[in-house]
Structure 1
Amino acid sequence: MKQDTAVRKRKVEQEEEKPSVYARAFKGESEWEDKDEFLDVIYWLKQILGLLLGCVWGILPLKGFVGLLLFFAINSLIVYVYFNSFQKVDEEEYGGLGEILKEGLMTSFATFLVTWIIFYSAIHTD
């Protein structure tokens, strides 16, 4: 009985020492034991990028294909720099470069489009 309590206590202490996902997301070269946690960070990074770029594109009178291409280029570049230079993770552990760049891309694109359309319509139309 005492051994079970000691084992539980050690597990709780180990989990308390482990930094949160948020802390690891902003700290370079973090340890990612659970692959899904890192992919969640990539997902939410892309959501934030979609929202911010949609606001900027809507405020600037950007239109058409150029805006779409710039979104995909900037989104991919920022994510690539984040995981390759800042976190320095091995992309093969997560299924390769394509899998990381695809993570959350379509939902980020939808967020971007909605935000872009709302801001552009509100500012640049009568």
Structure 2
Amino acid sequence: MSSKSKSSDGANKNKNKESLWKKAFSTKAEWPDKEEFLDVIYWMRQAIGIILGLCWGLLPLKGFFGLLLFVVVNAAVIYFYVNTYQKVDEEDFGGMWEITKEGFMTSFAGFLVTWIIVYTGLYGSDNL
């Protein structure tokens, strides 16, 4: 009996994950569990950080301009997703500031690591 309950729990988890992906990519989705929405924001930020790190390394952006541009683009994408695509009431999640800072520092760390590795790999020998 315990194996049946374990397998049904696994099936429920898979359904929840699928529905979470569906909700994340569908407009005006309902988010009864606020933590699910914040998880989507968190993981979206991680992807944005890696993608922007690749782009900035390939372009080759340097210095404060690259850092500032990352902050602006990252915040703008999240703001657009929350207000235009999902159309959620940000007050339900603690305000726009809470949503904006959700996962920002880990995204920034992933961005920096990716940016530095790509830039150094492509243009590092030019500085020697």
Judge same fold: TM > 0.5, yes or no: yes
Higher fraction of helix: 2
After superposition, residues 41-56 of structure 1 pair within 5 angstroms as 41-56=40-55
After superposition, residues 15-94 of structure 1 pair within 5 angstroms as 20-94=19-93
Q: Deviations over 1:60-92 (max 9, x none)?
A: 110000000000000000000001000000000
- Report % sequence identity: 56
Which residue is equivalent to 1:118?
A: 117
CA distance, structure 1, for counterparts of residue 60 and residue 78 of structure 2:
25
The runs of 4+ residues in structure 1 deviating greater than 2 Å are none
Gaps of 5+ in 2: 1-14
Larger radius of gyration: 1
Per-residue deviation at 1:96? 0.3
- Count of paired positions: 113
Q: Deviations over 1:4-49 (max 9, x none)?
A: xxxxxxxxxxxx69x6100100000000010000000000110000
Gaps of 5+ in 1: 1-15
CA distance, structure 2, for counterparts of residue 68 and residue 22 of structure 1:
30
Letter in 2 for 1:66: F
1:105 aligns with 2:101: no
Letter in 2 for 1:116: W
RMSD: 2.0
CA distance, structure 1, for counterparts of residue 64 and residue 45 of structure 2:
20
Letter in 1 for 2:51: L
Letter in 1 for 2:100: L
CA distance, structure 2, for counterparts of residue 42 and residue 125 of structure 1:
33
TM-score, with length taken from structure 2 = 0.84
TM-score, with length taken from structure 1 = 0.85
